[in-house]
Chain A
Amino acid sequence: MSEVLRKYTVSTRRSAELALLIGAWLLGVFAWILVDAATSTTTAGGWVSLIGSGVILLMAHGVVRRYTPYADPILLPAVATLNLLGLAMIHRLDAANAARALANGTKVPTPDVYFQVAWMFIGLILFMGVLIVVNDHRRLQRFTYTSGVLGIVMLFLPLLPGIGYEVNGAKLWISVAGFTFQPGELAKILLTVFFAGFLVTRRHTLALVQSKFLGVGFPRIKDAGPLVVMWLFALMVLVLERDLGTSLLIFGIFIVLLYVATGRRSWVIIGSLLLMVGAVAAYKMFGHVRIRFDVWLHPFADAQGTGFQIVQSLYGFANGGLFGTGWGQGYPQLVPFAKTDFITSALGEELGLVGLTAILLMYAIIVERGARASVATRDPFGNLLAIGLTAALGLQTFIVVGGVTKLIPLTGLTTPFLSYGGSSLVANYILIALLIRISNAARSPEHDQSAELVSEVNA
């Protein structure tokens, strides 16, 4: 008993997590109240949503406390903050839609934020499920190839006639029994598990150096197989599903893990070259890629047509300026897809540079905590899985936010935890659950000697 007490009071930091979580929830409530004040919205379902989200977060905290007592105390509050800010912005955009419906005399649509709160529940229930079921992340290594196959199936599911369907030119969605889902978000996690499991067994072979060029050791040609296969695979996603974002993200995660597993910079160089070849080929061959690229370079050339989205997004950021217009006081509804792809633009307009920087720093904190879990884990599979999941989150954020701010061409991905969309939210909560599980192993005082063994045996 005294042993247990010592553990809880000295090193678990669960109370810090709880305090941060309450702070995150209060921030979300505060934002919601400001939205209501500015848009004169009535909050009948509002308090139900807010209290519901607080209760489910508290339950998640309870499960973390019970099943992963040594877990990183920052991760859950950080993603909860983003999730709650996302809810407030979706609520704010709902208010704009309602006002427009009233002005046009049409029916006021059901607020999307209620669906998002429901998805938050599902996401956090799965989060708790993962923490309970996956009691040791090393068990996932057994499912390396199962994850790989499942991941590929998920990725190409939208191509199946009957259930897959197209939204805005990209085939990312499936629809089953009235429910729509973006399986690519889950595929991202499954493939990361596969990459980690696969590379942990092959890392020594793939690290062999055959020749040196400019001081960098290059691998044997015959070992380039997995990279080339992944490259072709990413190109298939691009060609068949027209999904530039997912294609880039999955190839990026693979290169990161290949580099970490082998320690060879040459893989990054080869990977980058392949990426460039793919990009040039895609530009030459596909009209939709060419349009995206040209719009990136000259968005104002066709500001009412192809450049409309990015131009409206930039107008939003400009309107926000340094401090933002304040919740509910800008015009984020003028940007197309403000709730999904362009939610950063909406937040940038109403919270300003100051608010958006805080949000991006929140992602930086999540990346740093994920990396910390990766470094501190004692098994190579855990190292790779944690940094892979962290990179998945970080790269996705960069690709989508970079796209809506015209830093890179627009590709179309959801902003983790902020964007409206169930698949994205659920998948990212599962991702964070896995990171929390690994961080628990990393910070746990009981050093499990068998950790190294498992991966070595599989090798």
Chain B
Amino acid sequence: MDKYLLPHKGEIVKITQETGSNLNIKTFRVRLIEEEARKKFKFLPGQFVELTVFGVGEAPFGFASSPTQEEYFDISIKETGLVTEAIHNMEEGDQIGVRGPFGNNFPYEEIKGKNLVFLAGGIGLAPLRSLINFVLDEKNRDQYGRVQMLLAFRSPEDMLYKYDFSNWENSPNTTVKYTIDEECEGWVHCVGYPHELLNEELDLKEPDTVFFTCGPPIMIRFITEELRNSGIDPANIITTLEMKMSCGLGKCGRCNIGRHYVCKDGPVFDLKQMEQMPAEF
């Protein structure tokens, strides 16, 4: 049997509707059914998984929960195509195929003792949440320095993980800022695109800081440009890329950027690496 090509069976144990009606994002909590598979399934922040809807197809998704939650994992999914639509139509108790985990991970070991800045746009917060919850976990919190977050959404309707916000805000030595694209009634936080707010809202000058960003490609581009202009070392700017990863093994040929296979060498890359890669993503 080829253990990498056929999925384990998972059960959807909880479905959370994250956003309002305008951007349909749900978070699915999945628990592997077989005990042995569950014990062996060890993922790290930044990795991804291939989910199968039986009879429909398979698609890649980043982990949105911290591996410190051992019994299950969360995947946040925006309805965009065939597979995501089929997943959105599923109910608690339904079964789903799980292949993985695949890919590299955020350098959670190397960043110990450093200050961290998280810059997220929309559902780009999902893979960062895995690392955020890992770093802010009581067991780990004292191993990391100051944590700053700037979380961008189109509108208050499009926010996800609202239920996490108070935990994050109340975590020691942690500040969380929120921004939306346009002013709206009742909104007391920032307004504007995140790259315009970086210098104003965050303390970028603190030494020994590592930046993590994920969001729409255009946001990643503007943010990384802004950070570079502020003199940040590109090796300290880390993002996670998305391609049409299918096999997860670095073989099927869909997700390469130059010689790098996003499913195996990525999805986590730092800006220094990305500057050496062909611009084809």
A binds B: no
B residues neighboring A (CB under 8 Å): none
A residues neighboring B (CB under 8 Å): none
